[in-house]
Amino acid sequence: MRAGVFAVIFDGTRRVLLCHRRDIDAWNLPGGGVEDGEAPWDAVLREVREEVGVEADVVRLTGLYWKAERDELVFNFECRIVSGTPSTSDEADRVGYFGIEDLPANTGAKHVERIRDAVSGGPVALRVQTGPGMRDLFGTAKPA
């Protein structure tokens, strides 16, 4: 089984931070895979640092998502920035904050679901996520 992590980071007006991928034309939450021997809460902070260039803290776990097609468990955390300003990286060519009702059309549906669960402020969401992945939806390479 693989493990993934994603961070939902809000600004002062509750807009969510997204990054635009360099490899495909899609927006997503900062995140990625958990490395061997790494705790999920440490992995999400590393991914945030790598993808959007900020230091963050975990506020709370907002959801656990099972993706049976990939044999993957995804941890979704609400995080807050403790230092730095979001910027581009080797993985993200654009970053920005978006209102929950104004997410870009090319934001993955699974990420939208994770954002909505974090916004709800309710108990930790436990969901099975099925359907196409980001590459299936938005292609394998960005258009030239």
Q: Which two tokens stand for residue 110?
A: 């699974």
CATH fold for the domain made of 2-138 = Nucleoside Triphosphate Pyrophosphohydrolase (3.90.79)
DSSP-assigned beta bridge partners for residue 76: 6, 63
Backbone angles phi, psi at 100, to 5 degrees: -60, -35
Exposed, middle or buried: residue 136 (CB in 10 Å: 0-12, 13-18, 19+)? exposed
**Residue 37, pLDDT above cutoff 90:** yes
Q: Distance between terminal CA atoms of the chain?
A: 35
Shortest CA distance to 32 belongs to which of 116, 86, 94, 42? 42
For 40-93, write each residue's pLDDT tens digit.
999 999 999 999 999 999 999 999 999 999 999 999 999 999 999 999 999 999
